[in-house]
Structure 1
Amino acid sequence: MLQSPSPTNETGRHLAVLLEDIPHVRLLNTGEATYTQGGRLDLTLVSSDLAADAIWQVHPTLTSDHFTTLTSLPVAPPVLPRPPPRWNIRRADWSRFQASLDEWWADYQPPDDLHQQERDLTAAIQTAATTAIPMCAPSRRHQTDWWYYNDEVREHNHRVNLHRKLYKKRPNPNNLRLLQQVVARARQVSLRAKEDKWLEWCATFSQHTSLGQMWRSVRMSSGAAPPRPAAHPHPQQEAERLATTFTSRGSSDQLPLHTRRTQQQLQPHRDEAVREAMEVADMTDRPFSLQELQQAKRRGHDTATGADGVPYSMLAHAGPAGDTALWKNLRDTYAKDCKKEHEKRSGSGAGSSRRYYIYREQMSLKKVIGNRNTTNSLSSDNNTNEVSEEAPQACATEQSVTRPRVNEKCKKVSLEDKMIQFLEGHGQHKHDDDRVF
């Protein structure tokens, strides 16, 4: 086994005997030389379960000073798990769905724990869906164009989607004619990709081509389901391993010592900048309204659901009870759970600040919030003394104490304006969360 120019090698044979005595391990080497020069080991070890039908051989092509070894292991792919059942949204009875949510909301007493409120709402939606929406048979979706799909086809499909949205937004003859031209071009590209892929497959025909391989290719070109790759036998452990690897590689501990010291020196200044930006009043510092929640609902095609299994269609048809429950959960999250653990006293002169965290349901309100008139809280040109006309109705966010604004061009301020700014600044200390909703 220890290859050398000599015909016999007692050291290699002794190592082979020792390795073969190891339990549950098999050595696949047949004694054929893999190196033209000696002094190196080239071993192939497998477990006993895989060594039954394993094939080990040496490739005839010489690369540098050694030959490549080929090992074939006949391993059956794992059985793919059946996909979970899905809701048949097309046959949903939304009246019954809303009635079930109304009945649940009439007797429901929201707990103080916001996470428990979210779990209760999710369970209520799932229960209502079970009674009002039938289930689909589990199946695996596939695209019929997967066998010829390439970058060119993807690009033209993207252009078709863009022009369809443009025509839907502005339906006029020019956009219609442009959409027809783009669709015709995308069809030509798809047909050419099909033809090229088919000719490429036909070029592989020979007297050794099996009938089964030919029929598999025919079914593939007809749009049948593609052969799915084998799933990982331990997906949870693999995901945790990848997450750990990503965290360790992105950790600051790998940075040089000088860089880490610089980060530690800059961290207090960065925290102070963020804290000051949080204290600056903004027009968006007000709670979400029920009308904004209804506008933010997505009413298009459903995408893949999350861990809770609730698609967009269920939220869009939740009715008054479902909307109220979801809005209350968002409202309580914004008004109660967004407070800072420790608020400074008003007499300290530093004002009050709040701590915010990103809540999962609030991401659906992104488009609606974007329509509000807002100011940049991180800009140094913000006028912290301006108070919105809707300040008595706004929200659960305490306003900060006004600080003198530093302008590039100094302007003269009259005594009356100074008095107004002083009164407005001291009026911002009054907090009343119960008046918000």
Structure 2
Amino acid sequence: MVDPPTLTSDHYAIRISLELRTRSYAPRPLPGWNTKKADWRKFESHLQGWHDENEMGGDLDANFSAFTNTVNKAAEKSIPRKRTGARRRDYCFYCDEIREQNRRINKHRKLHRRNFTAESLSLLWKVIQHVKEILRRVKAEKWYEWCSTIDEHIKLGEIWGNINTGKMTTRPPARLDPFEDAERLNNNFAARATTTSLPM
């Protein structure tokens, strides 16, 4: 709407009203239970104490709600939560060499921001390309190193976790011979999968 001319000039003040709806977000779920560090004696004792002090009535819904609350309280007291810290995207192959190369890139980025010349930009791109080659080599080496540990004792969840999430998959450097690497990994796996290595 246009307000009356109250600005003591030949311009009119325009008032705009917007009806905005605040978007509600669902609360972030709590981290899962770390059952490997649970105090099961404390958990059982809490449930046993609740059972001794309470009698089940005829209302099934009330009994279910009371029991569920008791189990949750027992879990909160005896089972720690898992850590919620996010893993590094490159946690499977992160090492001191990668840390040093990342430091080099950051150093040249700061240098380019400070000078902001064509020469500093060219130097930055050369450093980035060189570091990318080093990272490809390190990733490939870590990937082959992890593949060599696969045997009948490794957990299936670890295998799927590394493969499905794409954490360790990487494009090998062009200088590597794929047939030679495939043959080497095949022989390594065959040696680990023989019947002589199975548990007695």
Report the TM range for the smaller structure's normalisation. Answer: 0.3 to 0.5
What is the TM-score normalised by the length of structure 2? 0.40
What is the TM-score normalised by the length of structure 1? 0.20
More helix by share: 2
Q: Between Structure 1 and Structure 2, whose CA radius of gyration is higher?
A: 1
Structure number with the bigger relative contact order (C-alpha 8 A, sep ≥ 6) is: 2
More strand by share: 1
